[in-house]
């Protein structure tokens, strides 16, 4: 079986499972049900003492990637305190089910983080950021905070589990241009909505964290039926995602 | 339907036999293993055979003329066999029993037990492989599983009968002779000092339910049978109230020796799991087989650690006296 065949089968499986509603977040007994904590939806904040007791006793859920939703929740207030945002097109963020947000990335790790904060604020859902350096100690820490590796296979599994994922495009130094999309990674998103997102304003603070007011525009999902699933035209898929983000950037300029 | 179960003596094989005994669609359940069944079976036939008795095993299979073979005779190193013994038993059982079943002409379906160890944990591999990721085992148990899969696949192709391969996550349960379970229940547990990677498991009851469910199907294919969620070694240590013993590099070899002295030999695939993690995507199996009420990873660990300690008979009698 060639790599292209595997990608096609994976995409078909994803479409069938998504359409049937079999795989969705918050399945009873499914991912995130441990200790009554949902891996997809942000729940009420527990008291600090309860959270500390959980850490000491090891009573917290983890997903298959090693993501720790309670640890992610604990870190979020620090990030959201740094930056504020105004959102256009928030109705395009799905209430349930999987989707991939293709995000323009300016230098630094800030834009995917600010989009993740926005999704939490708007929909009370957690989103996975695709791509982290696979080196200790940074890699394991980011993995625990809900990052997944920059691989199409991992993105496909993440989406089939019903999660939202954020895939940054390649970074660009020019403020009016977007970088290229990673075709081998975006293959994993076929079968699920791909939504372009652009972040403007703000600036990168310490450690590249987003600081200041941001304006976030969420575009319309790409029409995947127009994208051929022939492996030879894989480049066209990446180009479509990049063009959609560039068009959104041009429109909002 | 006549069902033959290889590896019926194991915890998983015995439980699958029990489930099939309760199924009115199954006329006859027979099994083979090198040890007797670990559970009470009411209407199953069992033949105890080992490496020296493979001809007898072939005769038993020919006499039974099975329609479905559940090949659970895939042995995990240090579960109940030495690593060499596990490899040899698996290879010989696969060839002898599946070959004999093929010659009967009655075979309609084959289900083989494999493990997610076949995906390996080499650099650049997907973190959470699904069924379409090509196998690339990096441990002895992974290679044992892959070999069993290949023998079954060759037979399936030759006879044109459907083959279902169930790749199980490490099977854990309070009574399962699992190397991972033994290590985690040690008073002092070796853990990696540089990483705390996630690993997944499956409860023996859920694994048995998966085999019983696919025994009746008519579709082939590969399915990962994995419980939802994951755990990490450091988390398991805290959950079980054990003492972590952080280890780096060559210290793992020393730790393996000590664990073996403590009665919990650690095979290479378990060391790999503790150092690099081991997860797989089980969403497809859950939707196709309908395993929606699987115990999650945290529940499996909780059961493992809540298991009461064994009370020596002598001291119990003294207390009664």
Would you call B195 an interface residue with chain A, using a CB distance cutoff of 8 Å?
yes
Complex ipTM: 0.83
The pLDDT tens digits for A125-183 are 999 999 887 787 888 899 999 999 998 889 989 998 889 999 998 877 776 777 777 87
Tell me what percent of the residues of chain A surpass a pLDDT of 70. 77
Cis peptide before A137 (omega within 30 of 0): yes
Domain count, chain B: 1
**Min Cα separation A167/chain B (Å):** 16
Interface test with B, best of A157, A163, A187 (most B CBs within 10 A): A157
The whole-number pLDDT of residue A23 equals 36
Nearest to B196 among A10, A140, A149 (CB): A140
Report the C-alpha gap between B271 and B192 in whole angstroms.
10
Q: What's A152's DSSP letter?
A: H
Helix or strand or coil: residue B31? strand
Q: Write out the residue range of the structural domain in which residue B12 sits.
A: 2-174+201-228+278-292
Q: How many residues does chain B have?
A: 321
- Name the token pair of A30: 């499914």
Q: What residues contact A146, with CB distance under 8 A and at least 6 apart?
A: A65, A67, A68, A69, A72, A116, A126, A127, A128, A129
The whole-number pLDDT of residue A137 equals 81
Domain membership of residue B248 (yes or no) is no
Domain membership of residue B57 (yes or no) is yes
The whole-number pLDDT of residue A43 equals 85
Would you call B250 an interface residue with chain A, using a CB distance cutoff of 8 Å?
no
Q: Chain A interface residues facing chain B, Cβ-Cβ under 8 Å? A: 1, 6, 9-10, 13, 17, 20, 22-23, 27-35, 56-66, 136-137, 140, 148-149, 151, 153-154, 156-158, 160-161
Nearest to B229 among A20, A62, A153 (CB): A62
The whole-number pLDDT of residue A218 equals 94
* Cβ(B155)–Cβ(B149) below 8 Å: no
| Interface contact A31-B228, CB threshold 8 A | yes
For the question of whether the overall pTM of this predicted structure is more than 0.80, the answer is yes
pLDDT exceeds cutoff 60 at A204: yes
The whole-number pLDDT of residue A148 equals 93
Nearest to A6 among B132, B240, B294 (CB): B132
Domain membership of residue B180 (yes or no) is no
Q: Is B47 exposed, middle or buried (0-12, 13-18, 19+ CB in 10 A)?
A: middle
The pLDDT tens digits for B214-271 are 998 777 899 999 999 999 999 999 999 999 999 998 899 999 999 888 888 999 999 9
Which whole-number Å values give the CA distances from A129 to A9, B178, B222, in the listed order?
Answer: 24, 35, 29
The whole-number pLDDT of residue B313 equals 56
Domain membership of residue B193 (yes or no) is no
Which whole-number Å values give the CA distances from B229 to A60, A69, A130, B147, B164, in the listed order?
Answer: 11, 12, 19, 28, 24
Report the C-alpha gap between A111 and A127 in whole angstroms.
13
The whole-number mean pLDDT for each consecutive block of 10 residues of chain B, a chain of 321 residues, reads 94 95 94 92 90 83 94 94 93 92 93 96 88 94 97 93 96 90 93 92 96 86 94 95 92 91 90 95 89 90 78 54 50
Domain membership of residue B99 (yes or no) is yes
| Strands (DSSP E) found in B213-314 | 221-225, 243-247
pLDDT bucket at A211, cuts 50 / 70 / 90: confident
3-state helix, strand, coil in chain B (%, to 5): 45, 20, 40
CATH code of residue B224:
3.40.50.720
Which whole-number Å values give the CA distances from B43 to A10, B20, B31, B61, in the listed order?
Answer: 42, 10, 11, 17
- Name the token pair of B10: 């194991």
All residues of chain B having their beta carbon less than 8 Å from the beta carbon of residue A148 are 127
For B215-239, give the DSSP string.
Answer: TS----EEEEE--SSBB-HHHHHHH
The pLDDT tens digits for A61-73 are 999 999 999 999 8
Domain membership of residue B63 (yes or no) is yes
> Measured in whole angstroms, how far is the alpha carbon of residue A53 from the centre of its chain?
30
**Min Cα separation B136/chain A (Å):** 14
Report the C-alpha gap between B274 and B276 in whole angstroms.
6
Strands A164-168 and A99-103, sheet pairing: parallel
pLDDT bucket at A7, cuts 50 / 70 / 90: low
Among the ranges given (A47-51, A104-108, A213-217), the one the predictor scored with the smallest mean pLDDT? A104-108
The pLDDT tens digits for A13-47 are 544 444 433 333 333 333 445 777 888 888 888 88
Write down the mean pLDDT value for chain A.
79
The whole-number pLDDT of residue B103 equals 92
Domain membership of residue B85 (yes or no) is yes
Domain membership of residue B316 (yes or no) is no
């Amino acid at each position: 079986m060639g790599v292209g065949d595997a990608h096609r089968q994976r995409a078909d499986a994803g479409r069938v499972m998504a359409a049937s509603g079999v795989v969705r977040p918050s399945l009873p007994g499914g991912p995130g049900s441990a200790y009554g904590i949902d891996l997809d939806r942000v729940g009420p904040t527990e008291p600090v003492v309860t959270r500390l007791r959980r850490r000491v006793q090891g009573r917290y859920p983890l997903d298959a990637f090693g993501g720790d939703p309670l640890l992610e929740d604990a870190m979020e207030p620090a990030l959201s305190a740094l930056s504020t945002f105004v959102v256009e097109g928030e109705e395009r963020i799905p209430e349930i089910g999987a989707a991939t947000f293709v995000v323009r990335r300016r230098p630094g790790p800030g834009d995917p983080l600010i989009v993740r904060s926005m999704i939490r604020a708007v929909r009370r859902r957690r989103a996975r950021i695709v791509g982290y350096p696979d080196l200790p100690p940074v890699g394991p820490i980011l993995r625990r905070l809900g990052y997944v590796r920059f691989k199409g296979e991992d993105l496909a599994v993440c989406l089939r589990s019903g999660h939202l994922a954020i895939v940054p495009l390649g970074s660009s130094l020019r403020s009016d241009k977007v970088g290229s999309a990673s075709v081998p990674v975006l293959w994993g998103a076929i079968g699920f909505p791909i939504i372009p997102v652009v972040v403007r304003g703000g600036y990168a603070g310490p450690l590249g964290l987003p600081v200041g007011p941001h304006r976030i525009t969420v575009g319309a999902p790409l029409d995947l039926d127009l994208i051929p699933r022939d492996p030879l035209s894989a480049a066209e898929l990446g180009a479509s995602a990049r063009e959609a983000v560039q068009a959104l950037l041009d429109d909002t300029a | 339907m006549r069902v033959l179960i290889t590896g019926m003596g194991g915890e998983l094989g015995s439980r699958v036999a029990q489930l099939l005994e309760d199924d009115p669609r199954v006329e006859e359940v027979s099994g083979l293993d090198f040890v007797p069944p670990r559970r009470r079976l009411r209407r199953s036939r069992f033949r105890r055979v080992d490496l020296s008795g493979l001809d007898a095993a072939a005769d038993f299979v020919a006499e039974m003329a099975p329609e479905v073979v559940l090949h659970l005779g895939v042995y995990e190193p240090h579960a109940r066999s030495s690593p060499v013994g596990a490899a040899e038993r698996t290879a010989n059982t696969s060839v002898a029993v599946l070959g004999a079943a093929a010659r009967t002409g009655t075979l309609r379906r084959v289900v083989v037990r494999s493990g997610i160890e076949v995906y390996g944990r080499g650099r650049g591999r997907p973190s959470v492989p699904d069924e379409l990721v090509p196998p690339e085992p990096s441990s002895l148990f992974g290679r044992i599983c892959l070999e069993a899969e290949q023998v079954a696949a060759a037979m399936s192709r030759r006879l044109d009968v459907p083959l279902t391969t169930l790749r199980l996550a490490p099977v854990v349960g309070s009574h399962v002779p699992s190397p991972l379970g033994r290590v985690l229940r040690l008073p002092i547990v070796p853990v990696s000092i540089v990483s705390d990677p996630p690993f997944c498991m499956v409860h023996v009851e859920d694994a048995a339910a998966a085999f019983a469910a696919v025994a009746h199907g008519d579709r082939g294919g590969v399915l990962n049978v994995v419980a939802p969620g994951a755990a990490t070694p450091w988390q398991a240590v805290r959950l079980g109230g054990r003492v972590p013993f952080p280890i780096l590099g060559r210290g793992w070899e020393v730790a393996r020796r000590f664990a073996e002295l403590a009665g919990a030999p650690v095979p290479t695939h378990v060391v790999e799991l503790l150092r690099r993690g081991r997860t797989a995507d089980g969403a497809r199996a859950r939707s196709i087989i309908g395993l929606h009420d699987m115990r999650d990873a945290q529940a499996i660990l909780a059961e493992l650690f809540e298991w009461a300690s064994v009370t020596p008979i002598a001291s119990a009698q003294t207390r009664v006296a």
